[in-house]
């Protein structure tokens, strides 16, 4: 599904939020991105790559530790410590840069005109449908759940909304 929003978007969640994405996730921010959290924990199965065209600043109030390959470097107010003496040489390891995907253009969706389903005047839905199919706009089935009800109360035996939520429809 594609959605396009013109203007600001605000969300307030009272309680925890858990999101699982079963494929890649891409985020492109044209402006700045600000994140504030009590703790920010990242775990990656492959690699974490930080890259900047200008500066990378790691600012720790007390300590900063880099651990890799059983070795470590620890920076504290008392000094810089390492698990082994520092050696000159070596080469930097390349990392995989971030290449976020961009969203596809949102297609305009078309529903049947009000007159198409109205018994008074205008073509019937069966007469209007071939004309809509001949155009290039996609046709979207409107949700059948009663207003103010949940997808579990949808009258369709195989409700696409309920199926997307994993709750089924009326049996």
Q: Per residue, what are the HEC states of 37-69?
A: CCCCCCCCCCCCCCCCCCCCCCCCCCCEEEEEC
For residue 64, the model assigns a pLDDT of: 95
Q: Assess whether pLDDT exceeds 90 at residue 90.
A: no
Helices and strands in the chain: count of H runs, count of E runs: 2, 3
Average pLDDT over residues 106-126: 52
Q: Distances in Å between the alpha carbon of 64 and those of 44, 45, 59, 73?
A: 19, 22, 8, 8
Q: Assess whether pLDDT exceeds 50 at residue 117.
A: no
> Of 14-23, 69-78, 100-109, 123-132, which range is least confident?
123-132
Rounded Cα distance, 170 and 157, in Å: 5
Q: Assess whether pLDDT exceeds 50 at residue 171.
A: no
For residue 114, the model assigns a pLDDT of: 47
Q: Assess whether pLDDT exceeds 70 at residue 73.
A: yes
Does the pTM surpass 0.85? The reply is no
Average pLDDT, the chain: 79
Average pLDDT over residues 94-98: 80
Rounded Cα distance, 138 and 68, in Å: 52
């Amino acid at each position: 599904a594609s959605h396009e929003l013109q203007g600001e978007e605000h969300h307030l969640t009272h309680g925890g939020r858990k999101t699982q994405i079963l494929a890649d996730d891409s985020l492109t921010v044209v402006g700045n991105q600000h994140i504030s959290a009590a703790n920010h924990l990242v775990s990656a199965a492959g690699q974490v790559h930080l890259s900047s065209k200008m500066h990378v600043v790691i600012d720790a109030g007390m300590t900063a530790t880099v651990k890799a390959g059983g070795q470590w470097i620890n920076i504290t107010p008392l000094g810089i410590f390492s698990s082994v003496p520092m050696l000159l040489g070596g080469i930097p390891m390349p990392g995989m840069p971030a290449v976020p995907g961009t969203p596809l253009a949102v297609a305009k969706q078309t529903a049947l005109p009000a007159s198409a389903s109205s018994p008074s005047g205008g073509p019937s839905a069966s007469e209007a449908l071939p004309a809509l199919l001949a155009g290039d706009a996609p046709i979207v089935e409107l949700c059948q759940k009663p207003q103010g009800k949940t997808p579990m109360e949808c009258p369709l035996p195989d409700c696409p909304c309920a199926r997307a939520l994993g709750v089924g429809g009326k049996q």
